[in-house]
Structure 1
């Protein structure tokens, strides 16, 4: 079995292992670490879950999503989707809805505006992705914190070292004003994204350039 076939089998098994995913017919192809997924799922949040499952498979360097969301029989019209999206944001205590604008078109929800933290951006997307009838979410929220904390490299290095997933990995941190650049080598796409997630927890960051290289050993 060659490397592409081996990675394809690993991804297929990872999806099969999740009980709530097994009902979805997902096609999987792999080529030099790039995994392409195709098929149709019942809900948009299931599509997101599938993507996260595949990213954790060792050897995956990138994921191409060609997965569509079924037209749901109970899907609301666009005005109702917009109202539900607004309510979802208002019910989430960590999201500042007054700084977020919502646009709905053809079942897609577009988030526009700014928040102080990356976790708020992610929480906003997750909140609206659960609405029945949503076919996709475009998260264009910007990170623009008013905090003036100095970004300290040592704090980021210590955070990486505390992570059982990243401990021992070669990750270098570059800081320029409110921007952070990550370089070095990790073993998987999941580790690359975990490094970025941890870095976003530092106060005052507006942008992260994740240049970590994935080398599967």
Structure 2
């Protein structure tokens, strides 16, 4: 029988106590009731989702989400967050989207305008049709990245119920199967989340087949999406099995690459990422410190290059010195498009955000209720053609104030539940001062360090995360560099549905 949690659960009751029935420990398999409670806890404390009308059922590790949300992005966020819960083997999405009513004509107009003004999409060969709030995208895209970005932009428009993606891929280059096999294996091997997992890659006529096993749905989908971001890949058949392990991963010791190996791995990642034009990017690496120099044509590509570098095995931190040589555009046109993006966004349309632009530098001022809205506003600005920099002066106000000890308990609980951190959370110290979380201690892998920071930052009520976790056996010269860099780090994760933005417009 399914275990059921009704949708109308008060968030405040969860804020002050751990999920009832918590029993799973590292080395044991979480029960269905544990998984249901953890999913409910995660959705309730994630500002991107309104969990008031979502119920959770779990059977044999497969989670069914049932209920209603008022925008398509919220449904996608709920599904994505559920996949990251320890023990989840599958997700059945039965969430209905009931957005604000808007005419099909207005929706089609808004989507076309977003596509035409995006740094990520060439809209000339894309066709938009809308019927009763359901969007159909057709036409041609140069690669999978452009196809995916078009879909995400359409899903982010207020009033859209669903998106049907019928866009066809038209590749200009043909890559040999042998080269694709080699590059795909190397790409998985250097990824902090996928390194050393038992994944087999086979390629035939540009079509990649993945077999083997991973520990959770996030890894399965990350492997597929990562390979789709390569030139010449026509499709990926994902036959990876999700097999939660009694201990995470197969590696007992951390492989620490040399400076030259790390430099080469970062360069290879940048060169094979379809979202980038890396010809003018140079890389240096010293003792885990990766430095990016050169220039890119958009602020979005600058952020993607930094995240690519962060996600390489062996990267301790990244200094991003890339210069944006932006598309020249009138400041008033840039401002109009940013205001339009926010006005058509299901999360931000209700807030009064002041936007000013001077020589491509965007400044955002106003009040929003959580860090999520602050990051989202910056993301919507980053995506606009002609933007060279974003100064994010939005203030987070009106968020439920929690005592530091309560917020600390919430972060610890989420670390216990997370698929990647469950095995090492006892080695992580969490301290909270004035809604700012500091993480100290050591973990086994680079991905555990990344994930711990992400989980803390995604906890409702947290304003910033100071991630000082170290990877066991790897020296971190904190005193030499930490005080010289911005004190708090946002997490810019291209595998999220929307791209969070680094704090304070840095």
TM range (shorter): over 0.9
- Alignment map for 1:40-79 (pairs within 5 Å): 40-72=68-100, 75-79=101-105
TM-score using structure 2 length: 0.41
What is the SS of the residue equivalent to 1:86? Answer: helix
1:143–1:207 CA contact under 8 A, matched in 2: no
Q: CA offsets, 1:36-55, max 9 Å, x none?
A: 11111121111111111111
Deviation at 1:22, TM superposition (A): 4.4
Distance 2:51 2:184 in 1: 41
2:44: which partner in 1?
16
TM-score using structure 1 length: 0.92
Distance 1:88 1:165 in 2: 32
Deviation at 1:159, TM superposition (A): 0.9
Instruction: Tell me which structure has the larger Cα radius of gyration.
Output: 2
Deviates more, 1:110-119 or 1:79-88: 110-119
Deviation at 1:210, TM superposition (A): 0.6
**Which of the two has greater strand per residue?**
1
Deviates more, 1:191-200 or 1:20-29: 20-29
Deviation at 1:101, TM superposition (A): 1.4
Distance 1:33 1:23 in 2: 20
Q: CA offsets, 1:171-213, max 9 Å, x none?
A: 1110101111111110011100000011112211111101111
What is the SS of the residue equivalent to 2:58? Answer: strand
Deviates more, 1:175-184 or 1:98-107: 98-107
- Higher RCO (C-alpha 8 Å, min separation 6): 1
Q: Which runs of structure 1 show a deviation greater than 6 angstroms over 4 or more consecutive aligned residues? A: none
1:150: which partner in 2?
176
Q: CA offsets, 1:97-151, max 9 Å, x none?
A: 1222112111111112231222212211111112111111112223331211224
1:103: which partner in 2?
129
1:130: which partner in 2?
156
2:71–2:97 CA contact under 8 A, matched in 1: yes
Distance 1:40 1:71 in 2: 10
2:43–2:51 CA contact under 8 A, matched in 1: no
2:451: which partner in 1?
none
Aligned residue pairs, count: 215
Distance 1:23 1:13 in 2: 9
2:303: which partner in 1?
none
Structure 1 residues 186 and 111: CA distance shift in structure 2, 3 A = same
